[in-house]
Structure 1
């Protein structure tokens, strides 16, 4: 008799978890989906420090609800977490919480439990004022120092949209032209999602398609990051003081340089310069521009997720990679609208894109033969090549990608950088 798959999902009441559970709910009912067989009869334990009622799960995920069990406790309580994992016979953890990453992974490793997350969390870093401006790199450093201690588990870390899917895009684009080595590999995102009826926007409110607190951490607290020669470098500006030009064929925009995990991993693995260029909706952009001199006040404003359940959303989220060569550029991206996603999955486009990356990692751990170890997605793809089907799994839902090239290069990051001036539009050339 085949052993039952037991999954424990951390942070089950959050927005990313809703998108992940929605995709699993679809997969459980679709006999053609990669994980249909694994999900049939599986048990899913949902843990959240502020748990939702069962009615939320049964109405949102009816194909999974019969095999769900809910729990409410603090995931930073390592003893209780270990008792849960042992007592339930958990085989795989999907960590979408804010619990300390290294502590949680330590619990999983001792029990040989497979593990997936979308980001690195470290409460000590967040609570240390001296690290303000460098919290992302500090989380990364502390994780990298600990990861080699995890020898019993199979883990894929940072598998959402970015990191995650974008690392797969970068790997795929480079493998299409292995004889040409790019100088730069940039993650690019243009998310112009906002309410279709702008009058729904309230004053003194920060709007974002993902966690506004996490967004402000990158957009206000951390310095812009360039990873070059396998070394993270920082610009002593706030992200919204600077603009960086991006061209993806007919699409042109100017975004801000944010710190992000995949910039570090891609630079380290491929020897390229890397960075994350991000442009958000005009309302949020204008607010940040207006508070360059006093950004701390924004933490006291209301923080609002752009949820289609609260009002119809227009626009779309474009996320991809831009490979820069001496005399040309190549790009690959996915663009998804909440208008298309919400009726099918009950979430916004950004969270759905993240969930597709989680689905890719889940498929890899359950269906592919990989050795115990802790992998970023780009490392996983480099080590296993065609024996890793991460891209096939995520593409079952995220099936539409645009690829193309620019017949000239705008150069590396500093060549495409300029300071923002008051009254300047963040788009150019059309």
Structure 2
């Protein structure tokens, strides 16, 4: 963006991901070596939410940028109001971490030539259509793909968080180790054992996750297990928590469930390798889901809580990475962040901070890199442009672990077990 003054509009500013984005931006403006220090030190930030927080909340989140923030409260489905906001504020970058319709937000930004970032595909119509249960992610992806070609007047990075986002970069980094050898499979892997240190505060009939419980349940109980094979989606007609899949990362091993995810589709479409997302959450939530397979719909009516270290101290960590399977070996790359260390410096949980690192990578790319106009998933961004995405995200996300297994557990159906407490007792 050269020397243009950056005016940022953040959609969904009252949410959990936003807190972590704020934490990074507030660090950025204090660090002259930060890649985007020059831009952030002179920026204006407009914060939009349907249920807006008060100014004191944001001043505590952004103490070194409090002078730069302006609050707005309106419904992003009101596209006329959103367009007026973009025009009136002269917004130069939109960061969308809301539940607003992705295609509608892109349409508004494209009309004005405004760069756009989001962390996930969203579509309210899909979410509310009961006939699509089991396939909501695939339908959101289909609608996005049908519309993306209309947007030719902007730059956009779609699905830039931890996963999707940083994991595509990790997958391509591992593939570079043996450029002449195509993996048979590429699995996004995550083991998040974050939970309260004091478990006496745990309430009955409550789902605890480190990110949006509603979005988690959409993947965990509303959709079927899905993976990509020969560039096509394949569904298993089982409950997600009915099956468990083995993951080995050197001396680390766990069993997780197969869940639908954006990066599984994009990597599986781009490369002829089996792709899937194997995810294990904390044992309390895992056991609740396994115990309620026969009445999973009732879980929507339970209490839903995000594990927030500002409310009660958390232990554990979030491990996120990739496992690439070859004929006689496996290569892996992952990042681990502990809740206690992340909270000490950034006042958020590990999961949300990992997501924010991916968003920061996208922000830096759009501010610093001369990429052509276009709509990019992160793997497309990396393969089609000269983006420094990986360098940027690594400024705050450090200590990636790489390694190799001398042997392989095979493809997904070779590593499946019937789920007993999410694989805990397999």
Report what 1:159 is aligned to.
Answer: 160
Structure 1: 4+ residue segments shifted above 4 A: none
Distance across 2 between alignment mates of 1:120 and 1:424 = 27
Deviation at 1:380, TM superposition (A): 0.8
Report what 1:405 is aligned to.
Answer: 404
Distance across 1 between alignment mates of 2:161 and 2:3 = 30
Deviation at 1:17, TM superposition (A): 0.6
TM-score normalised by the chain length of structure 2: 0.98
Give SS of 2:88's match.
helix
Distance across 2 between alignment mates of 1:70 and 1:157 = 25
Structure 2 unmatched runs, 5+: none
Report what 1:230 is aligned to.
Answer: 231
User: Cα distance 1:427–1:20, how it changes in 2: closer, same or farther (>3 A)?
Assistant: farther
User: Cα distance 1:62–1:427, how it changes in 2: closer, same or farther (>3 A)?
Assistant: farther
Report what 2:147 is aligned to.
Answer: 146
User: Residue by residue, what CA displacement relative to the aligned partner does 1:269-308 show, whole Å, maximum 9, x if unpaired?
Assistant: 1211100000000000010011000001111110000000
* Counterpart check, 1:281 vs 2:279: no
Q: Which moved more, 1:2-11 or 1:148-157?
A: 2-11
Report what 1:172 is aligned to.
Answer: 173
Report what 2:212 is aligned to.
Answer: 211
Deviation at 1:244, TM superposition (A): 0.4
Deviation at 1:418, TM superposition (A): 1.8
Distance across 2 between alignment mates of 1:226 and 1:98 = 24
Distance across 2 between alignment mates of 1:146 and 1:44 = 29
Deviation at 1:3, TM superposition (A): 2.9
Structure 1 unmatched runs, 5+: none
Contact kept? 2:264, 2:277, Cα under 8 Å: yes
TM-score normalised by the chain length of structure 1: 0.97
User: Residue by residue, what CA displacement relative to the aligned partner does 1:245-265 show, whole Å, maximum 9, x if unpaired?
Assistant: 000000000000000010011
Deviation at 1:142, TM superposition (A): 0.4
Contact kept? 1:246, 1:254, Cα under 8 Å: yes
Cα RMSD after superposing both structures: 1.1
Deviation at 1:2, TM superposition (A): 3.9
Deviation at 1:21, TM superposition (A): 1.0
* Counterpart check, 1:31 vs 2:32: yes
User: Residue by residue, what CA displacement relative to the aligned partner does 1:137-181 show, whole Å, maximum 9, x if unpaired?
Assistant: 100110011111110010000000000000000011111210111
Report what 1:395 is aligned to.
Answer: 394
Distance across 1 between alignment mates of 2:121 and 2:16 = 17
User: Cα distance 1:174–1:425, how it changes in 2: closer, same or farther (>3 A)?
Assistant: closer
Distance across 2 between alignment mates of 1:176 and 1:93 = 35
| 1:274-423 to 2 correspondences below 5 Å | 274-384=275-385, 387-421=386-420
Report what 1:259 is aligned to.
Answer: 260
Contact kept? 1:254, 1:427, Cα under 8 Å: no
Report what 1:101 is aligned to.
Answer: 102
Give SS of 1:206's match.
strand
Deviation at 1:424, TM superposition (A): 7.9
User: Cα distance 1:353–1:133, how it changes in 2: closer, same or farther (>3 A)?
Assistant: same
Contact kept? 1:23, 1:355, Cα under 8 Å: yes
Distance across 2 between alignment mates of 1:241 and 1:73 = 41
* Counterpart check, 1:77 vs 2:74: no
Give SS of 1:38's match.
helix
Alignment size in residue pairs: 425
Deviation at 1:346, TM superposition (A): 1.0
Distance across 2 between alignment mates of 1:37 and 1:427 = 52
